[in-house]
Structure 1
Amino acid sequence: MATGKLVVQRLSDTIVHELERRILDGALKPGDRLPPERELCVELGVSRPSLREAIQKLVSKGMLFSRQGGGTYVTDQLDAGFTDPWHNMLAQHPKLQDDLLEFRGMLEKEAARLAARRATDADRQRIGEAYARVDALFAQGTSTAVLAQQVKADLAFHQAVAEAAHNAMIGHLTASLLKVINDHIDRNLRHLRRNEEDWGRLREQHRAVWEAIRDADPAAAVRAVEGHIAFVHESMKARALHEEREHRARGVGGDTEG
C-alpha cells in the first residue's frame, strides 16, 4: 500500500494566491497601492514575515513593484504587453481602426450581456454611479474645459460594465483596450460635440446600456451596445471625412499663399 506525506502549502503561497485573485478580479487595479502591512496582516489574519515573503514572491513574478519613497503597488504588466505595440500600429496603419472597433464591439457586447446576468447589487451601484457621472458631465455640453473629464468618465463607465461581467479576462482586456483607444475616444468626442443631436444620441446610448444591466436584461444590453458601436463607427467615418476635407482645404490655402 503506497503511503506518502501530505504536502502542506506554505502560508506565503496562500497569501500570494489571494492577492493574485484580487488583482485578477479587479479588486486591486494596476497602479493601486497595497494597504499598509499592519492593516493587510489583520485583514488576512497572517504574520508580517509571511506577508512580506508573499509580497516578495509577487514582486519577483512582476505582479507588484516598490516605489522610491515607500509603498508597494500593483504593476500594469498585464496590460503593457498589449497596449504598447498597438499604440504604434494604429498610428501607422489607420485602417486597423475598423478591426479594433469590431473587436471592441465583440468584447463589450459579451461584457454587457454577462453584466446583465451576473451583476451584484454592489456592481449595479458602481455602474449606476459611473453612468450618473458621465451623464452629468455630458450634460455640461461642449465646453473644451470639461472634455478631459468627459473622456475619463466615458472610459470609467465602460470599465465598470466590464468588471461587472465577473470574468477576469474580459475585465483586463477591456482595461487594455480602453488604454489603446483613449486617443480615439478623445477625437471622437471632439467631433461629436459639433452636433447637438449626435451629442444627445450618445447620452441616450449610455443610458440604454445602464438601464439594460440595471433591469437584468441581457438581450437589451447586447442591443444597446450594438447600437452604440454602430453609432461610433458611423461617427468615425464622418470624422475621417471631415478631417480629410480640412486637410485638403489647408493644402489649397498653402499652395495659394505660396
Structure 2
Amino acid sequence: MRQPRVAEIVASSLRSRILSGALADGDMLPKQEELLAEFGVSPPCIREAFRILETEGLVTVIRGNVGGAIVHVPHPGTAAYMLGLVLQSRSVSLLDLLNGMRLLEPACAAEAALRPDRATSVLPRLRANIDASAAAIDDPAAFIGLARAFHSELVNNCGNETMSLVVGALEKLWTAQVETLAVDRSVHGTFADRALRLSLLSEHERIYRAIEEGDATTAERAIREHFSGGGERRHGFDTSVTVKADTLRY
C-alpha cells in the first residue's frame, strides 16, 4: 500500500480539526510558524497541506505577508454544488434529475411519517408551508417557490440525516433550475392555471395528513402519485436540457 506523504498527514490532521468542530467556520488555521513547530516539517510541506485543503474547499488561503487560511465547514449547499458539477460534466438532463427525486423522495416521506417527534419536528413546517401556499394561490410566481419549499422542508426534516443530505442536494439542484427557468424569467408554465395550483395544494395536504397520521405507506404512495401525476412536471420548460450547477446559489 502507498504510504501517505507527510503533507497528506498534516492535511489529514487539520481536516479532522475542521470536521470535528475544533475549528469553526471562519476561523483561521494556525500560522505557518506554529504548524512548523507542531509537526516538525518544512515550509513547502505546510504549503502543500494547505493546497490539499483548499482543493477540498475546506479552506481559503490568503497569500502575502499577512496571509493565512480561513476555515470553511462543509454544508449541504456545497454538496449540492459539487454534485451539480458532476451531473453537468456528464450532460445529465433535468428529466434524469427529476426521476432521481421521484425514486428517492417517497422514502423521505415514509421516514417523516415514522418520526415519533413528527408533531414538533416536521409537521409545523409543512403546515406553515401549506398555509402560505393557500394564501399565495393567486400569485403563480410565489406559489411556485412555496411548492418547491414544501418538498425541501419534507426532505430536510425527514429524520434521516444521510437521506436529508443526499436527496436534499437533488432538491436544491432542481429548485435552482426551477428558479432560473420558471421564476426568474416569469415563465409559469401550467402553474398559470389556478385549478392546477389548487390541485397541487390538495396533493400536498394529502401528503401532510398521511405523515400526521404516521402512515408511512400512504405517505410514500402519496408522494409517488404526486410525481407520477405530474406534480413536478408542470413547469412548462424543457426538461431535456442539461443540469447547470452555476444556477445554484449556496
Q: Give the structure-1-normalised TM-score.
A: 0.56
CA distance in 1, matches of 2:153, 2:72: 21
The unaligned stretches of length 5 or more in structure 1 are: 1-11, 21-32, 37-52, 242-258
Report whether the alignment pairs 1:226 with 2:228. no
Q: Kindly provide the amino acid, as one letter, of the partner of residue 114 in structure 1.
A: E
State the structure with bigger RCO (CA 8 A, min sep 6), 1 or 2.
2
Mapping for residues 1-258 of structure 1, pairs under 5 Å: 18-19=20-21, 34=25, 60=53, 62=56, 64-65=58-59, 73-75=72-74, 76-87=77-88, 96-118=93-115, 120-121=117-118, 124-143=120-139, 147=141, 149-182=142-175, 183-184=177-178, 187=182, 190-232=188-230, 235-236=233-234, 239=236
RMSD: 4.3
Q: Alpha carbons of 1:15 and 1:151: their partners in 2 closer, same or farther (altered >3 Å)?
A: farther
Q: Alpha carbons of 1:166 and 1:18: their partners in 2 closer, same or farther (altered >3 Å)?
A: farther
SS at match of 1:74: coil
The size of the alignment, in residue pairs, is 192
Q: Alpha carbons of 1:107 and 1:119: their partners in 2 closer, same or farther (altered >3 Å)?
A: farther
CA distance in 1, matches of 2:232, 2:80: 28
- Tell me if structure 2 keeps the 8 A contact 1:112–1:225: yes
CA distance in 2, matches of 1:213, 1:160: 13
Percent identity over the alignment? 18
Q: Kindly provide the amino acid, as one letter, of the partner of residue 107 in structure 2.
A: E
Q: Give the structure-2-normalised TM-score.
A: 0.57
Q: Alpha carbons of 1:198 and 1:88: their partners in 2 closer, same or farther (altered >3 Å)?
A: farther
- Tell me if structure 2 keeps the 8 A contact 1:128–1:210: no
CA distance in 2, matches of 1:194, 1:74: 41
